[in-house]
Amino acid sequence: MKITEKDTTLTPLTIVKIGGNVVDNAQLLDQVLHQFIKLQGLKLLVHGGGKLATQLGEKLGLQAQMVGGRRLTDAAMLQVVTMVYGGEINKTIVALLQAAGCNALGLTGADGNLIPAHKRQKGALDWGFVGDFDPVSINTGLLQSLFAAGITPVVAPLTHDGQGSLLNTNADTIASGLAVALSPFYPTTLTYCFEKKGVLLDVEDEASVISRITPEDYSQYKVQGVIAEGMLPKLDNAFAALQAGVVQVRICHALDIAHPQTGTALCL
């Protein structure tokens, strides 16, 4: 049964997205997951895994092609990301959460029709099997049912087109979309965590964390070329989430999930 906004207004939800460099480090991943399960309220985890997908692709003779921090995905690379994201990484995280006493369920966008999407239209660039979606299409009823049953969803960055094809979809975008879709039902916090302490003015200087970024700041940083290319999808999605009603968005080190005053806060 779908939970209504009135039923869940006071129930906080934290959506955490972890990146490939966290997933690739077994010790760090274990520490992060133990912090994740201690978060108060409802929880949902979204994971990436691009580094592992790139490594497997190279072993198979496939060279990764990235544009603006996003992966071009032909049919062969789609097979790779499906195996890595929906298989090894997703199920490893679920198994680790189960071992820590957190009842988790791994999902792709195809499972339970969670995230219907469409193949990105060809323009100047052919993205291949890359999926785009509208947050309103997300099956929030499925997630609400899982939360009500005490189950923590673990979402892989794969969507589907309704015609039998999986689509590679940026994990930052999925995390933002889920936050937007669920924010009418829960006060939602979105946390992007990775191996850095936040958004850095100098990627080589861990002390150069930008504590607060507004849309105006972000525009200026982009013009100046200050922010690393791979950070741009996170920030684009972070501001989109805030504008759509998500309560808080933060970018921080993976070990600082439970410390809300750390990292970079995004503000409108």
Q: For residue 224, give the amino acid letter.
A: Q
Would the annotation count 49 as a binding residue? Answer: yes
Query: Phi-psi region for residue 198, left (φ > 0), alpha (ψ -120 to 50) or beta?
Result: left
- Taking every pair of Cα atoms in the chain, the longest distance, rounded to a whole number of angstroms, is 53
One-letter amino acid of 9: T
d(CA 122, CA 170): 17
**Among candidate residues 172, 167, 186, the one with its CA nearest the CA of residue 241:** 172
Q: Is 69 annotated as a binding residue?
A: no
Q: Which residue type sits at 183?
A: S
- Note whether 15 and 190 are within 8 A (CB): yes
Distance (Å, rounded) from C-alpha 43 to C-alpha 16?
Answer: 8
Residue pointed to by tokens 């071009």? 72
In sequence order, the β-bridge partners of residue 191 are 16, 250
Residue 113 annotated as part of some ligand binding site: no
Find out whether 50 is annotated in a ligand binding site.
Answer: yes
CB 19 within 8 A of CB 48: yes
Tokens representing 244? 């759509």
3-state secondary structure of 65: coil
Distance CA 70, CA 8 (A): 35
Q: Is residue 36 classed as helix, strand or coil in its secondary structure?
A: helix
> What is the crossing angle of helices 26-36 and 90-99, to 10°?
60
Q: Detail the residues annotated as belonging to a binding site.
A: 49-50, 71, 168
Q: Detail the residues annotated as belonging to a binding site for substrate.
A: 49-50, 71, 168
